[in-house]
Each structure stands twice: as C-alpha cells, then as structure tokens.
Amino acid sequence: MVDKKELQRKYLQLQILRQQMTAMLEEKAVVEERINELSSTIDSLKKLHSIKTSEEMWSSLGSGSFVRAEIKDTEKVVIGIGAGIFAKKSAGDAAETLEGRLKELNTVNDEIMAELNKINIQLLALEPEVEKLAGQQSA
C-alpha cells in the first residue's frame, strides 16, 4: 500500500518545482528583453558616427511614440550610469559601457538557463514517480 503522505509530499515538491520554473521563465523573458534593448542601443551608438549633424530623424519618446528631431551632436550622448544618475560620454565610450552591461546580462541569462535545466531534470525525474504513486494509490 502506498503511503498517502509520501504521495502528498512528492506532489507538493512537484508543484513547487513547476512554480520555480514559471518564475524563472518570466525572469528569463525580462532579461532577454533587456538584452535585445541593449543590443539595439549599442548598434545605434555604433552607427551614430555616420549621421550628419543637422540631419532629421525620428526620436523615441517612449511607449511607441516618436517625434521628428534634428541632430545637433553625434559625438556625445547621455547615458544612465545607475541610481538615476546620467553622464555625458562619447558614443564609443557609451557603447563600451553598454557592452559591459550586455556581457553581465548574458552571464545572468546563462545562469538562469542552467538553473532551468536543473529544475527540468528534477521535474522529469519526479513526474513519473508521482504518477506511479498516484496509480498505486487508486488501485
């Protein structure tokens, strides 16, 4: 006869693992979104030198809204350096700073992937156990 408490314990463990996986997948999506945003910004910074001053372009206001703007300076940009503080840097220095952040985020993304793989292995091992115990319980 199957121990009902053992089945409940394993089922609870299974549910916790599933919740952890869901939370980590959400975190991974946020990190990947930030990676894409940084990659796009770095690409734009690297192309900035090819834009002539006094050229017009569409400038993002956020939330999918844009305004026509005239380029006054392609040498310097303002970037956030953390804690609501901004600094004026050359486009090249700004790209380097953002590439450092991108490298850190890629490391975080790799760590999340490794943890997701561990959780998945645990789930794949635990699910058949729970099904077997549940089948024995109903028999």
Topology annotation, domain 4-138: Helix Hairpins (1.10.287)
- pLDDT band per the 50, 70, 90 thresholds, residue 133: confident
**Amino acid 114: pLDDT:** 98
Cβ atoms 127, 14 nearer than 8 A = yes
Which residue matches tokens 């992937």?
A: 113
**Amino acid 139: pLDDT:** 63
3-class state of residue 65 by DSSP:
strand
**Amino acid 131: pLDDT:** 87
Q: Where are the domains of the chain?
A: 4-138
pLDDT in tens, 47-67: 888 888 888 888 888 888 999
Nearest to residue 69, comparing CAs of 53, 46, 86?
Answer: 53
The torsion angles phi and psi of 89, rounded to 5 degrees, stand at -140, 165
Helix (H) or strand (E) holding 89: strand 85-90
pLDDT in tens, 78-97: 999 889 999 999 999 999 99
Cβ atoms 125, 9 nearer than 8 A = no
Q: What is the pTM of this model?
A: 0.80
